[in-house]
Structure 1
Protein backbone atom coordinates (compact mmCIF):
# COMPACT_ATOMS: atom_id res chain seq x y z
CA UNK A 1 0.00 0.00 0.00
CA UNK A 2 2.79 2.54 0.79
CA UNK A 3 4.32 1.78 -2.61
CA UNK A 4 0.99 2.48 -4.31
CA UNK A 5 0.67 5.84 -2.51
CA UNK A 6 4.24 6.77 -3.45
CA UNK A 7 3.60 5.91 -7.10
CA UNK A 8 0.32 7.81 -7.05
CA UNK A 9 2.04 10.86 -5.55
CA UNK A 10 4.85 10.63 -8.13
CA UNK A 11 2.31 10.31 -10.93
CA UNK A 12 0.42 13.38 -9.71
CA UNK A 13 3.65 15.34 -9.46
CA UNK A 14 4.61 14.41 -13.01
CA UNK A 15 1.17 15.25 -14.34
CA UNK A 16 1.16 18.60 -12.55
CA UNK A 17 4.63 19.44 -13.81
CA UNK A 18 3.77 18.53 -17.39
CA UNK A 19 0.63 20.61 -17.65
CA UNK A 20 0.74 23.40 -20.17
CA UNK A 21 0.86 26.86 -18.64
CA UNK A 22 -2.37 28.78 -18.64
CA UNK A 23 -2.79 30.76 -21.82
CA UNK A 24 -2.35 34.48 -21.47
CA UNK A 25 -3.23 37.17 -23.95
CA UNK A 26 -3.36 40.93 -24.31
CA UNK A 27 -6.54 42.39 -25.69
CA UNK A 28 -6.61 45.73 -27.49
CA UNK A 29 -9.92 47.60 -27.47
CA UNK A 30 -10.59 50.64 -29.63
CA UNK A 31 -12.67 53.44 -28.07
CA UNK A 32 -14.26 56.67 -29.23
CA UNK A 33 -15.85 59.58 -27.46
CA UNK A 34 -18.13 62.07 -29.14
CA UNK A 35 -18.55 65.80 -28.68
CA UNK A 36 -20.73 66.70 -25.72
CA UNK A 37 -20.58 68.67 -22.49
CA UNK A 38 -16.92 69.44 -21.95
CA UNK A 39 -15.82 66.47 -24.08
CA UNK A 40 -14.04 66.83 -27.37
CA UNK A 41 -14.24 63.96 -29.86
CA UNK A 42 -11.46 61.50 -29.14
CA UNK A 43 -10.17 58.04 -30.05
CA UNK A 44 -7.86 55.82 -28.01
CA UNK A 45 -7.03 52.19 -27.22
CA UNK A 46 -7.09 50.17 -24.03
CA UNK A 47 -4.72 47.22 -23.50
CA UNK A 48 -5.40 44.54 -20.90
CA UNK A 49 -4.34 41.00 -20.13
CA UNK A 50 -0.99 39.21 -19.83
CA UNK A 51 1.93 38.83 -22.21
CA UNK A 52 2.28 35.13 -23.09
CA UNK A 53 6.07 34.96 -23.04
CA UNK A 54 6.65 36.75 -19.74
CA UNK A 55 3.35 36.70 -17.86
CA UNK A 56 3.65 40.49 -17.53
CA UNK A 57 0.32 42.03 -16.54
CA UNK A 58 -0.94 44.73 -18.92
CA UNK A 59 -3.61 47.26 -17.94
CA UNK A 60 -3.25 50.63 -19.64
CA UNK A 61 -4.65 52.83 -22.36
CA UNK A 62 -3.20 55.27 -24.85
CA UNK A 63 -4.49 58.21 -26.81
CA UNK A 64 -2.82 61.03 -28.69
CA UNK A 65 -3.85 64.62 -28.13
CA UNK A 66 -2.72 68.23 -28.18
CA UNK A 67 -0.91 69.25 -24.99
CA UNK A 68 -3.12 72.32 -24.68
CA UNK A 69 -6.52 72.98 -26.19
CA UNK A 70 -6.48 76.39 -27.83
CA UNK A 71 -7.54 78.03 -31.10
CA UNK A 72 -4.00 77.36 -32.39
CA UNK A 73 -5.14 73.76 -33.09
CA UNK A 74 -7.29 75.09 -35.92
CA UNK A 75 -4.40 76.86 -37.67
CA UNK A 76 -1.56 74.34 -37.77
CA UNK A 77 0.67 72.05 -35.76
CA UNK A 78 0.91 72.30 -31.97
CA UNK A 79 2.64 70.29 -29.24
CA UNK A 80 1.16 66.83 -28.90
CA UNK A 81 1.48 63.98 -26.45
CA UNK A 82 0.59 60.37 -25.89
CA UNK A 83 -1.59 60.20 -22.80
CA UNK A 84 -2.80 57.36 -20.60
CA UNK A 85 -6.57 57.54 -20.47
CA UNK A 86 -7.98 57.09 -16.99
CA UNK A 87 -11.00 55.09 -15.83
CA UNK A 88 -13.31 58.13 -16.12
CA UNK A 89 -12.29 58.70 -19.73
CA UNK A 90 -12.92 55.05 -20.52
CA UNK A 91 -16.28 55.05 -18.72
CA UNK A 92 -17.60 58.00 -20.72
CA UNK A 93 -16.39 56.57 -24.03
CA UNK A 94 -17.78 53.89 -26.33
CA UNK A 95 -15.93 50.65 -26.91
CA UNK A 96 -16.19 50.02 -30.65
CA UNK A 97 -14.34 46.71 -31.08
CA UNK A 98 -11.50 44.58 -29.74
CA UNK A 99 -9.17 41.74 -30.62
CA UNK A 100 -6.59 39.56 -28.91
CA UNK A 101 -2.96 40.24 -29.79
CA UNK A 102 -0.03 37.92 -30.19
CA UNK A 103 3.08 38.86 -28.21
CA UNK A 104 4.63 40.12 -31.45
CA UNK A 105 1.61 42.35 -32.15
CA UNK A 106 1.69 43.67 -28.59
CA UNK A 107 5.37 44.60 -28.95
CA UNK A 108 4.60 46.29 -32.28
CA UNK A 109 1.78 48.30 -30.65
CA UNK A 110 4.12 49.44 -27.91
CA UNK A 111 6.72 50.46 -30.51
CA UNK A 112 4.13 52.65 -32.26
CA UNK A 113 3.13 54.22 -28.94
CA UNK A 114 6.79 55.01 -28.22
CA UNK A 115 7.34 56.43 -31.72
CA UNK A 116 4.37 58.79 -31.31
CA UNK A 117 5.52 59.69 -27.78
CA UNK A 118 8.99 60.61 -29.10
CA UNK A 119 7.96 62.62 -32.18
CA UNK A 120 9.62 65.97 -32.65
CA UNK A 121 7.40 68.85 -31.55
CA UNK A 122 5.07 70.25 -32.65
CA UNK A 123 3.61 66.79 -33.31
CA UNK A 124 -0.18 67.27 -33.23
CA UNK A 125 -2.02 68.47 -36.31
CA UNK A 126 -5.79 68.36 -36.48
CA UNK A 127 -5.71 67.53 -40.21
CA UNK A 128 -2.69 65.22 -40.47
CA UNK A 129 -1.76 63.74 -37.06
CA UNK A 130 -4.57 63.60 -34.51
CA UNK A 131 -6.05 60.90 -32.26
CA UNK A 132 -7.80 59.23 -35.19
CA UNK A 133 -4.54 58.98 -37.14
CA UNK A 134 -2.95 57.46 -34.01
CA UNK A 135 -5.55 54.68 -33.63
CA UNK A 136 -5.48 54.12 -37.40
CA UNK A 137 -1.75 53.38 -37.23
CA UNK A 138 -2.33 51.03 -34.28
CA UNK A 139 -5.07 49.21 -36.20
CA UNK A 140 -2.77 48.81 -39.21
CA UNK A 141 0.02 47.60 -36.90
CA UNK A 142 -2.14 44.75 -35.58
CA UNK A 143 -3.05 43.68 -39.11
CA UNK A 144 -6.48 45.20 -39.55
CA UNK A 145 -7.71 46.51 -42.86
CA UNK A 146 -7.86 50.30 -42.59
CA UNK A 147 -8.97 52.96 -45.02
CA UNK A 148 -8.41 56.60 -44.10
CA UNK A 149 -10.96 58.71 -45.96
CA UNK A 150 -10.33 62.37 -45.12
CA UNK A 151 -14.02 62.85 -44.21
CA UNK A 152 -13.58 60.41 -41.28
CA UNK A 153 -10.21 61.49 -39.92
CA UNK A 154 -11.73 63.99 -37.47
CA UNK A 155 -14.65 61.75 -36.54
CA UNK A 156 -13.50 59.07 -34.07
CA UNK A 157 -16.72 57.06 -33.83
CA UNK A 158 -17.41 57.09 -37.56
CA UNK A 159 -13.82 56.16 -38.35
CA UNK A 160 -13.75 53.23 -35.90
CA UNK A 161 -17.15 51.99 -37.09
CA UNK A 162 -15.75 52.06 -40.64
CA UNK A 163 -12.73 50.00 -39.51
CA UNK A 164 -15.12 47.58 -37.78
CA UNK A 165 -17.12 47.18 -41.00
CA UNK A 166 -13.92 46.39 -42.94
CA UNK A 167 -12.89 43.71 -40.42
CA UNK A 168 -16.07 41.77 -39.70
CA UNK A 169 -15.17 38.36 -38.29
CA UNK A 170 -11.65 39.48 -37.35
CA UNK A 171 -12.64 41.69 -34.40
CA UNK A 172 -15.23 41.50 -31.63
CA UNK A 173 -17.75 44.35 -31.80
CA UNK A 174 -18.26 46.44 -28.69
Structure 2
Protein backbone atom coordinates (compact mmCIF):
# COMPACT_ATOMS: atom_id res chain seq x y z
CA UNK A 1 0.00 0.00 0.00
CA UNK A 2 1.44 3.43 -0.94
CA UNK A 3 2.60 5.52 2.02
CA UNK A 4 0.11 8.37 1.36
CA UNK A 5 -2.81 5.94 1.18
CA UNK A 6 -1.71 4.30 4.44
CA UNK A 7 -1.73 7.71 6.13
CA UNK A 8 -5.24 8.44 4.85
CA UNK A 9 -6.57 5.07 6.01
CA UNK A 10 -5.00 5.67 9.40
CA UNK A 11 -6.63 9.10 9.76
CA UNK A 12 -10.05 7.73 8.72
CA UNK A 13 -9.77 4.91 11.26
CA UNK A 14 -8.82 7.41 13.98
CA UNK A 15 -11.77 9.65 13.16
CA UNK A 16 -14.17 6.72 13.18
CA UNK A 17 -12.85 5.69 16.59
CA UNK A 18 -13.52 9.16 17.98
CA UNK A 19 -17.06 9.41 16.62
CA UNK A 20 -19.83 8.62 19.14
CA UNK A 21 -21.37 5.19 18.69
CA UNK A 22 -25.09 4.49 19.14
CA UNK A 23 -26.16 3.29 22.56
CA UNK A 24 -27.11 -0.34 22.78
CA UNK A 25 -30.68 -0.78 21.65
CA UNK A 26 -33.13 -2.95 23.55
CA UNK A 27 -36.77 -3.14 24.54
CA UNK A 28 -37.53 -2.63 28.22
CA UNK A 29 -40.59 -4.26 29.75
CA UNK A 30 -41.95 -2.58 32.89
CA UNK A 31 -44.51 -4.12 35.22
CA UNK A 32 -47.28 -1.99 36.73
CA UNK A 33 -50.09 -2.41 39.25
CA UNK A 34 -53.10 -0.43 40.31
CA UNK A 35 -54.26 -1.42 43.75
CA UNK A 36 -57.76 -0.74 45.02
CA UNK A 37 -58.72 2.92 45.46
CA UNK A 38 -61.49 3.82 43.01
CA UNK A 39 -60.75 0.91 40.68
CA UNK A 40 -60.50 -2.84 40.89
CA UNK A 41 -56.91 -4.09 41.31
CA UNK A 42 -55.13 -4.54 38.02
CA UNK A 43 -51.71 -5.50 36.62
CA UNK A 44 -50.31 -4.56 33.23
CA UNK A 45 -47.04 -4.07 31.39
CA UNK A 46 -45.35 -1.57 29.10
CA UNK A 47 -42.86 -2.12 26.29
CA UNK A 48 -40.46 0.65 25.33
CA UNK A 49 -37.30 0.90 23.25
CA UNK A 50 -35.87 -0.48 20.01
CA UNK A 51 -35.01 -4.12 19.29
CA UNK A 52 -31.29 -4.89 19.19
CA UNK A 53 -31.64 -5.98 15.57
CA UNK A 54 -33.10 -2.59 14.66
CA UNK A 55 -36.50 -1.69 13.31
CA UNK A 56 -39.24 0.62 14.50
CA UNK A 57 -39.12 1.90 18.09
CA UNK A 58 -41.73 0.49 20.48
CA UNK A 59 -43.88 2.38 22.96
CA UNK A 60 -46.91 0.38 24.07
CA UNK A 61 -48.87 -0.80 27.10
CA UNK A 62 -50.93 -3.97 27.49
CA UNK A 63 -53.19 -5.44 30.13
CA UNK A 64 -55.72 -8.27 30.16
CA UNK A 65 -59.13 -7.68 31.67
CA UNK A 66 -62.74 -8.84 31.62
CA UNK A 67 -64.96 -7.17 29.06
CA UNK A 68 -67.34 -6.15 31.83
CA UNK A 69 -67.28 -6.24 35.62
CA UNK A 70 -70.35 -8.26 36.61
CA UNK A 71 -71.25 -10.99 39.15
CA UNK A 72 -70.68 -13.53 36.36
CA UNK A 73 -66.95 -13.17 37.08
CA UNK A 74 -67.45 -15.15 40.30
CA UNK A 75 -68.93 -18.21 38.58
CA UNK A 76 -66.59 -19.14 35.72
CA UNK A 77 -65.38 -18.07 32.32
CA UNK A 78 -66.41 -14.77 30.76
CA UNK A 79 -65.25 -12.73 27.80
CA UNK A 80 -61.94 -10.96 28.17
CA UNK A 81 -59.80 -8.56 26.17
CA UNK A 82 -56.32 -7.12 25.91
CA UNK A 83 -56.41 -3.35 26.10
CA UNK A 84 -54.09 -0.38 26.41
CA UNK A 85 -54.62 1.51 29.69
CA UNK A 86 -55.33 5.20 29.16
CA UNK A 87 -52.68 7.75 30.14
CA UNK A 88 -54.67 9.03 33.12
CA UNK A 89 -55.10 5.50 34.45
CA UNK A 90 -51.37 4.85 34.09
CA UNK A 91 -50.54 8.06 35.93
CA UNK A 92 -52.59 6.82 38.88
CA UNK A 93 -50.90 3.42 38.86
CA UNK A 94 -47.58 2.22 40.27
CA UNK A 95 -44.49 1.08 38.35
CA UNK A 96 -42.88 -1.80 40.22
CA UNK A 97 -39.86 -2.97 38.23
CA UNK A 98 -38.46 -3.38 34.73
CA UNK A 99 -36.41 -5.91 32.80
CA UNK A 100 -34.48 -5.67 29.53
CA UNK A 101 -35.62 -8.12 26.85
CA UNK A 102 -33.59 -9.88 24.22
CA UNK A 103 -35.08 -9.72 20.73
CA UNK A 104 -36.22 -13.33 21.08
CA UNK A 105 -37.95 -12.56 24.40
CA UNK A 106 -39.53 -9.46 22.94
CA UNK A 107 -40.95 -11.50 20.04
CA UNK A 108 -42.41 -13.98 22.53
CA UNK A 109 -44.05 -11.20 24.56
CA UNK A 110 -45.62 -9.85 21.36
CA UNK A 111 -46.88 -13.37 20.62
CA UNK A 112 -48.27 -13.53 24.17
CA UNK A 113 -50.27 -10.35 23.60
CA UNK A 114 -51.60 -11.73 20.33
CA UNK A 115 -52.44 -15.03 21.98
CA UNK A 116 -54.62 -13.35 24.62
CA UNK A 117 -56.20 -10.79 22.29
CA UNK A 118 -59.80 -11.51 21.29
CA UNK A 119 -59.06 -10.80 17.60
CA UNK A 120 -56.10 -13.15 17.25
CA UNK A 121 -56.22 -15.61 20.14
CA UNK A 122 -58.09 -16.86 23.19
CA UNK A 123 -59.48 -14.00 25.30
CA UNK A 124 -61.25 -16.16 27.87
CA UNK A 125 -61.18 -14.47 31.28
CA UNK A 126 -61.41 -16.48 34.49
CA UNK A 127 -61.07 -14.77 37.85
CA UNK A 128 -59.17 -17.63 39.47
CA UNK A 129 -57.30 -19.11 36.50
CA UNK A 130 -56.79 -16.49 33.79
CA UNK A 131 -56.88 -12.89 34.96
CA UNK A 132 -54.62 -9.84 34.60
CA UNK A 133 -52.03 -11.24 37.03
CA UNK A 134 -51.79 -14.47 35.05
CA UNK A 135 -51.14 -12.37 31.94
CA UNK A 136 -48.22 -10.44 33.43
CA UNK A 137 -46.91 -13.63 35.05
CA UNK A 138 -46.61 -15.20 31.60
CA UNK A 139 -44.65 -12.15 30.44
CA UNK A 140 -42.36 -12.38 33.48
CA UNK A 141 -41.66 -16.05 32.78
CA UNK A 142 -40.80 -15.22 29.16
CA UNK A 143 -38.27 -12.71 30.52
CA UNK A 144 -36.66 -15.51 32.52
CA UNK A 145 -37.94 -14.41 35.92
CA UNK A 146 -39.05 -16.59 38.83
CA UNK A 147 -42.74 -15.84 39.18
CA UNK A 148 -44.44 -18.79 40.89
CA UNK A 149 -46.68 -17.28 43.57
CA UNK A 150 -50.05 -19.07 43.25
CA UNK A 151 -51.51 -17.52 46.40
CA UNK A 152 -51.03 -14.01 45.00
CA UNK A 153 -52.75 -14.38 41.64
CA UNK A 154 -55.58 -12.06 42.69
CA UNK A 155 -53.29 -9.47 44.28
CA UNK A 156 -51.40 -7.54 41.57
CA UNK A 157 -49.25 -5.32 43.78
CA UNK A 158 -48.15 -8.06 46.17
CA UNK A 159 -47.50 -10.42 43.26
CA UNK A 160 -45.19 -7.96 41.48
CA UNK A 161 -43.38 -7.07 44.69
CA UNK A 162 -42.77 -10.78 45.26
CA UNK A 163 -41.44 -11.24 41.72
CA UNK A 164 -39.03 -8.34 42.21
CA UNK A 165 -37.83 -9.75 45.54
CA UNK A 166 -37.34 -13.21 44.03
CA UNK A 167 -35.16 -11.93 41.20
CA UNK A 168 -32.43 -9.71 42.70
CA UNK A 169 -29.96 -8.50 40.11
CA UNK A 170 -32.21 -9.61 37.26
CA UNK A 171 -34.72 -6.76 37.46
CA UNK A 172 -34.43 -3.02 37.92
CA UNK A 173 -36.61 -2.02 40.86
CA UNK A 174 -38.45 1.23 40.10
CA UNK A 175 -41.20 1.71 42.71
CA UNK A 176 -42.54 5.01 41.39
CA UNK A 177 -45.98 6.39 40.83
CA UNK A 178 -46.98 6.40 37.20
CA UNK A 179 -47.19 10.17 36.86
CA UNK A 180 -43.57 10.75 37.90
CA UNK A 181 -42.29 7.77 35.93
CA UNK A 182 -43.97 8.82 32.68
CA UNK A 183 -42.89 12.43 33.06
CA UNK A 184 -39.24 11.40 33.39
CA UNK A 185 -39.15 9.18 30.30
CA UNK A 186 -37.18 10.52 27.33
CA UNK A 187 -39.25 11.13 24.20
CA UNK A 188 -39.53 8.26 21.76
CA UNK A 189 -41.42 8.07 18.47
CA UNK A 190 -42.57 4.52 19.08
CA UNK A 191 -45.57 2.49 18.05
CA UNK A 192 -47.42 -0.59 19.24
CA UNK A 193 -46.49 -4.01 17.85
CA UNK A 194 -50.06 -5.19 18.48
CA UNK A 195 -52.96 -2.78 18.02
CA UNK A 196 -55.56 -3.01 20.78
CA UNK A 197 -58.22 -0.57 22.03
CA UNK A 198 -57.54 1.77 24.93
CA UNK A 199 -59.56 1.56 28.10
CA UNK A 200 -59.81 2.07 31.84
CA UNK A 201 -59.90 -1.34 33.58
CA UNK A 202 -62.23 -1.83 36.54
CA UNK A 203 -64.14 1.43 36.30
CA UNK A 204 -66.76 0.35 38.86
CA UNK A 205 -65.61 1.55 42.31
CA UNK A 206 -64.44 -1.24 44.60
CA UNK A 207 -66.07 -1.63 48.01
CA UNK A 208 -64.35 -4.63 49.62
CA UNK A 209 -60.64 -4.45 48.97
CA UNK A 210 -59.68 -8.07 49.40
CA UNK A 211 -62.74 -9.56 47.69
CA UNK A 212 -63.09 -7.64 44.46
CA UNK A 213 -62.14 -9.08 41.08
CA UNK A 214 -58.77 -8.16 39.62
CA UNK A 215 -57.95 -6.94 36.15
- TM-score, normalised by the number of residues in structure 1: 0.86
- Do residues 105 (structure 1) and 105 (structure 2) align? yes
- Do residues 155 (structure 1) and 121 (structure 2) align? no
SS in 1 for 2:85: coil
Report the Cα offset of residue 110 of structure 1.
0.6
SS in 2 for 1:157: helix
- Do residues 82 (structure 1) and 82 (structure 2) align? yes
SS in 2 for 1:110: helix
Q: How far apart are the structure 2 equivalents of 1:70 and 1:13? A: 67
Q: How far apart are the structure 2 equivalents of 1:28 and 1:72? A: 32
More helix by share: 1
Asked if 2 retains the 8 angstrom alpha-carbon contact of 1:27 and 1:48, the reply is yes
- Tell me the matched-pair count: 167
Q: How far apart are the structure 1 equivalents of 2:28 and 2:71? A: 36
Aligned to 1:136: 137
Deviating above 4 A after TM superposition, structure 1's stretches of 4 or more consecutive aligned residues are: 18-21
SS in 1 for 2:25: coil
Report the Cα offset of residue 94 of structure 1.
0.6
Report the Cα offset of residue 146 of structure 1.
1.2
The answer to which structure, 1 or 2, has the higher relative contact order (CA under 8 A, 6+ apart) is: 2
Decide which moves more: 78-87 or 111-120: 111-120
User: Cα RMSD (Å) of the superposition?
Assistant: 2.5
Aligned to 2:121: 119
SS in 2 for 1:29: strand
Q: How far apart are the structure 1 equivalents of 2:111 and 2:55? A: 19
Q: How far apart are the structure 2 equivalents of 1:126 and 1:159? A: 15
Asked if 1 retains the 8 angstrom alpha-carbon contact of 2:25 and 2:51, the reply is yes
Report the Cα offset of residue 14 of structure 1.
7.1
Q: How far apart are the structure 1 equivalents of 2:89 and 2:106? A: 22
Asked if 2 retains the 8 angstrom alpha-carbon contact of 1:24 and 1:55, the reply is no
Q: How far apart are the structure 2 equivalents of 1:95 and 1:104? A: 24
Q: Which runs of 5+ in 2 are unaligned?
A: 175-215
